[in-house]
Amino acid sequence: MLAFEPNEYPDLIELDSLQLRVIVDNEIDHMSAGPAYKSGQAQELYRDPRNRDPVKSKPGSGSCGCGDHDHGSDDTRVDTVAFDFEDLVVAGHGLSMLCIGVKDGKEHRVLFDTGPTPSLYRANARRLEVDHAKIEAIVLSHWHIDHSGGMLEAVKSCTEARRHQPIDPVVVDLHPDRPDQRGACLKRPTPEDDRYEYVAWGADPTLHALEKEGAKIALNDKAHTLCEGYFGVSGEIPRRTSYETGLPSHSRWFAAEGCWKDEQEIMDERYLVARVKDRGLVVLSGCSHAGIVNVCQDVHNAFKTPASSSSSSSSSEIKSNHIALVAGGFHLAGGHFEARIPDTVRDLQEIGPELLAPGHCSGWKARAACDDAMPGRVVSLGGGSVYTIAPFPK
């Protein structure tokens, strides 16, 4: 088993609030109920005064007893929203989340992953009215096209939004071990058939292409913080559990040698973490190829002790390593990975996140198992979802 020192974040500060906006996920869910601090794009569209239908609305001045009449036929006030489904985000196989941290009235924004294609990122970012001039950094969880495919488009949008403003270029935070290409081995030789069969996934954007679009590249394989300590990005994730053993069929193409090689461990994977006053830690995992339990255990180890003197002291009401929300891909979909669900659920119960939002590659079976074991604490991630993590009102 691979062994590493736990990641550490001595410079991570305690935020007053953190908002997560899901730009891309494998599904959308505008209807299911969630906790008070989760809303969605549909609700925002309902409340947006720009969507008020002037024909079907009127100010009114009288009162209504809701008798046997149609609203709008008397002098009561009527408000009608013109709801256009073209305004709603669409789903796709990938992940992208915008993180907005606030401390003492100051805001920093980081984009975590960019979805699988430029067109999907562009369409959903437009629908969500993402302000690319305010995005200071783009963090790639790992080199897989369903997370990096929209990155050139995101960088291009950030550069264009800055064109007439004195703003630094967007920083693109990457693990330095970029593969030529990745894929999966679908078939290995048998006595009856001596062929290998591979599927090649799309190639990740190159560093040169990102710089050409205006990005400032930052290569990091160690734990570090961004944006004045608002966000932490892990280095390599310690692999400690016995059952989270990577992807057996995963392969990597080496162009210089002209061959595929097995790559069960995706060692360039990283997670993002933030800390919110009186609430605890928020953890974003792109795919959890290292295992979502390994991710959460590493976070627990990183925050066993109180925060450094550079940040305000934690509330005595929560443990220093309490996880308020863990969101993203848990990679428990598919026959091989579904066998890990019971162990994963057992260990997540012990870790005790306040809320779990399994999305992307998690699969419905894993989400159902988590909900059975931890009722009321599991929600779908869902494109267009908005999570606002802040101290509860007193």
The answer to whether 278 touches 392, Cβ cutoff 8 Å, is yes
CA 365, CA 174: separation in Å to the nearest integer? 32
Residue type, 346: R
- CA-nearest of 108, 107, 95 to 22 is 95
Structure-model confidence comparison of residues 61 and 143, the more confident one: 143
Give the CA dihedral 31, 34, 37, 43, nearest 10 degrees.
Answer: 10
Looking at residue 58, its pLDDT comes to 83
Q: Which residues are within 8 A (CB) of 20 and not within 5 positions of it... i.e. 6 or more apart?
A: 97, 98, 99, 100, 282, 284, 325, 327, 385, 386, 387, 389
Split at pLDDT 50, 70, 90, the class of 313 is: very low
Looking at residue 31, its pLDDT comes to 87
pLDDT tops 50 at residue 48:
yes
Query: 22 lies in a domain?
Result: yes
pTM: 0.91
Tokens found for residue 194: 């001596």
Residue 357's alpha-carbon distances to 20, 174, 177, 312, in angstroms, are 12, 24, 29, 28
pLDDT tops 80 at residue 209:
yes
CA 222, CA 272: separation in Å to the nearest integer? 12
Looking at residue 68, its pLDDT comes to 54
CATH of the domain at 331: 3.60.15.10
pLDDT tops 60 at residue 336:
yes
Looking at residue 71, its pLDDT comes to 54
- CA-nearest of 20, 5, 101, 17 to 301 is 5
Task: Please classify residue 376 by burial: count the beta carbons closer than 10 Å to its beta carbon, then call 0-12 exposed, 13-18 middle and 19+ buried.
Answer: exposed
Split at pLDDT 50, 70, 90, the class of 317 is: low
Residue type, 171: V
**With pLDDT > 70 as the criterion, what percentage of the chain qualifies?**
92
Query: 57 lies in a domain?
Result: no
pLDDT tens per residue, range 105-159: 999 999 999 999 999 999 999 999 999 999 999 999 999 999 999 999 999 999 9
Structure-model confidence comparison of residues 314 and 351, the more confident one: 351
The answer to whether 37 touches 335, Cβ cutoff 8 Å, is no
pLDDT tops 80 at residue 28:
yes
**With pLDDT > 90 as the criterion, what percentage of the chain qualifies?**
76
Q: Which residues are within 8 A (CB) of 60 and not within 5 positions of it... i.e. 6 or more apart?
A: 75, 76, 77, 78
DSSP lists the bridge partners of residue 272 as 233, 284
Least confident of 153-162, 265-274, 303-312: 303-312
Query: 100 lies in a domain?
Result: yes
CA 325, CA 284: separation in Å to the nearest integer? 8
The answer to whether 235 touches 222, Cβ cutoff 8 Å, is yes
Least confident of 73-82, 184-193, 260-269, 305-314: 305-314
Split at pLDDT 50, 70, 90, the class of 309 is: very low
pLDDT tops 90 at residue 245:
yes
What is the tally of structural domains in the chain?
A: 1
Q: Per-residue pLDDT averaged across 249-253, rounded? A: 96
CA 361, CA 358: separation in Å to the nearest integer? 8
- Other CB atoms within a 10 A radius of the CB of residue 138 amount to 25
- Other CB atoms within a 10 A radius of the CB of residue 381 amount to 26
CA 389, CA 263: separation in Å to the nearest integer? 37
Give the CA dihedral 34, 38, 42, 47, nearest 10 degrees.
Answer: 120
Query: 332 lies in a domain?
Result: yes
Looking at residue 310, its pLDDT comes to 41
Split at pLDDT 50, 70, 90, the class of 316 is: very low
Q: List the domain range (segments joined by +) for residue 345.
A: 14-47+90-389
Which stretches of 244-338 are DSSP H helices?
A: 292-302, 335-338
pLDDT tops 90 at residue 60:
no
Query: 214 lies in a domain?
Result: yes
Split at pLDDT 50, 70, 90, the class of 16 is: very high
Query: 74 lies in a domain?
Result: no
- Mean model confidence pLDDT for the chain: 91
Looking at residue 65, its pLDDT comes to 52
Query: 109 lies in a domain?
Result: yes
Query: 107 lies in a domain?
Result: yes
The answer to whether 205 touches 152, Cβ cutoff 8 Å, is yes
CA 115, CA 375: separation in Å to the nearest integer? 29
216-219 and 171-174: which strand pairing? parallel
